[in-house]
Amino acid sequence: MPRAMVVDDSRAIRMILSKTLGSLGFEVCQASNGREALERMVDGDDRPLAVVLVDWNMPVMNGLEFVQNVRANPEYSQIKLMMVTTETQIEQITRALDAGANEYVMKPFTEEVISDKLRLMGVME
* Rounded-to-integer distance, Cα 17 and Cα 90, Å: 24
Instruction: Quote the pLDDT of residue 2.
Output: 93
* Rounded-to-integer distance, Cα 83 and Cα 8, Å: 10
* Rounded-to-integer distance, Cα 90 and Cα 81, Å: 18
Domains of the chain, first to last = 3-120 (3.40.50.2300)
* Rounded-to-integer distance, Cα 72 and Cα 18, Å: 26
Task: Give residue-wise pLDDT tens across range 99-108.
Answer: 999 999 999 9
Instruction: Quote the pLDDT of residue 103.
Output: 96
Containing H/E element for 45? none
**pTM, two decimal places:** 0.95
Task: Give residue-wise pLDDT tens across range 7-58.
Answer: 999 999 999 999 999 999 999 999 999 999 999 988 766 678 999 999 999 9
What is the overall mean pLDDT for the chain?
Answer: 94
Q: What are phi and psi of 105, to 5 degrees?
A: -125, 135
